[in-house]
Structure 1
Amino acid sequence: MQKRNTYTEIEDFLTDESFQLWILSKVDEQGWEEWTLENLHRAKLVESARLLLLAMKVDEANLSQNEIHLALESTWLKIKEKEDLKKNYTKSKIIFIRKYWLTGVAASLLFCLFSFWIYNSNNVKSNKVTYNELIDSSYEGLVEQTNNSDKPQIITLSDGSSVLLQPDSKLSYPKIFTGNERKVYLSGEGFFEISKNPNKPFFVYANEIITKVVGTSFRVRAYSDQPNIEVLVRTGKVRIISNKLISNSEKEEVVLLPNQALRFLRSDLTFNKITNITEDKTFAGSVGNIEQLSFEFTDIPVEQIFKTIEQAYLVNIDFPENKLKDCHLTTSLSDQPLSEKLKIICKSIGNETTFEMNGNQIIIFSQGCN
């Protein structure tokens, strides 16, 4: 039996070096994430220990040297006053009192410094949630994908969902979705096409808002240096709420349907719903190919279908043109992630047609259509 199976207090976790390494450095050599999932009755203790451990990482720069000096000087004056009041005690009693007050005052000073840091943090950041804060709040071991190129990049998640990640953006997500929720964390802009799973809702955490869906397609634009967060729905329905990390948010929920959008004002934490994006110049001008092109095909050449996908996702598709030149398909690919679109096409072509994806390069293997 592992030692941690006997932990019953927060202090047990705080003094465990492997736990500290997991929380502070995200190095899970001892399998803490798996252990927590298997011991849900201890999850509350783990969460409390994690929050306390992160809170104890006080940046020394939060207090100036002058502030620290004044606090210490005031403390020692209080100690001297207490000692003067007890001058008639015996020497041993005075020593005892000195040690007692030193310990108490030191604890009080630490508490005051910690409270001062918490106060500043809440007042400075109460209206802002950073990407790093979102990542730190997650238990899951996450993979981070950053798009440093000048073109969008396709990310395929373990559930088949796809994300078209724009330049100067990054997405963190688990290798495999576990539990009864699917969570990802975005900084920047991404177009999401979510694989349907009513029993396992999908959440996109982006700055101060959370977008919840079951199976749909939508765009989220949430740059850390921009004043607003934008969500635009192409298909399906999404629910948007403010993140619980915001201390003074009203916890409003907004529901968006196709061709509706939301602009979240970060300065005052307000939701501005746009029911017709064509009437909003900003949204109307930002709609991309993937949101405009139709994926409903009736007796259309396979080559043309591939070209439509290339235009929408800015990918390259390599396929045997001679073998597929006479192939026509009638199919609906709307509201499907990219990988699912390709599966449907390959199945419709038949003859054991398959595909491979390597980043933005797609290769189709086929001996021709049925």
Structure 2
Amino acid sequence: MQPAYDRFSPADFLTDDDFVNHQLAPTTQSTAFWEQWLQLNLQRHGEWKQAVDLLEAIRLGLNEYAQTHLSEDAIHHLLLRIKQTNAQQSLAKKTVRKSAWMPWVAAASVLLVIGLGVWQPWQTNRLEPTYERQIAVLKQTPTEKVNQQDKPQSFRLSDGSTVWLSPGSKFSYAAEFNQHTRSVYLLGEATFTVTKNANIPFLVYANGLVTKVIGTKFVVRAFADEPDVRVNVQSGQVSVYRDQPATKTLNRKGVLLHPNQQVVFSRLTEQFIKSLADSPQVLPAIQPQITRFTYDDAPLTKVFQDIEQAYGITIRYNQEALANCQLNASLVAEPFEGKLAVICKTFGATYEIIDGQVIINGGRCQ
């Protein structure tokens, strides 16, 4: 009999074997089940996601945060499950490698000598920019814009979008831009302010990464000699994924970014690292209300709500433990992390930033 997941709390999910098994070692069947369940139970997505975050916190060793929702015994049990799963997966990988490797031991000793000579060029090739190769296959000669000045230069596209191109950077687009597609190819760094058009998404191709938007403002940094590609969102939201052949698009995996979030894509490991922007800014629509950061016996829950709305950044904390806390302070002059530092110092808490979210650990009312 299937458990009553529609009434589960985050802690309940973490005591359910099927949920934990899916998070640690998902299968095609389990993925299909949970995707369908989430579609049918949108109102429970918050509890489900919090359970996912708690399990990830335990995996990362953030037990102080996990203890705000789970008992020590529950955390210990989940840690054992994580270690067992990791050990099983590691053993399975070693077995596969060994069975595939053994028949080729003799050949490997010869190839090793050759490989030492070609390893460095191979590494270099992985960092070669895709820019020239991509524009070379366009049907018509593309339009190219190059910034040879020592300051950013702006270019306006036919769809009304604006590109602020950094020094030493260039981008190209096809002659049929804004007809059926809005694709640009970047080498270097640029800030894009994209005119909204739901029928024709705006695509930026840069060193193996694709940034897809409908209408927003974001920055892409993808220089030829840098091992990482960075995408920083200032407003709206964008999806970022690897530039793959058309045959692999059904299995495309990427990252969804909201304002004040960024992602770093390693061209060597092809891994995504999602985080907050280096200096989160108050969203443009919130600027007139910035005086809300002055508080006189204000509930701490209200303070967190104001910060979340102002910056578009999720803050997770133990609502039960901090429910009766009140703040007397002015945070107007403080940057985003300065606001968090004042709050944490006042209530004896700490904070961490994980996957583009703020996690408040501990704390108590004075």
Fold match (TM-score > 0.5): no
Band of TM-score, shorter chain: 0.3 to 0.5
**TM-score normalised by the chain length of structure 1:** 0.41
- The structure number with the bigger radius of gyration is 1
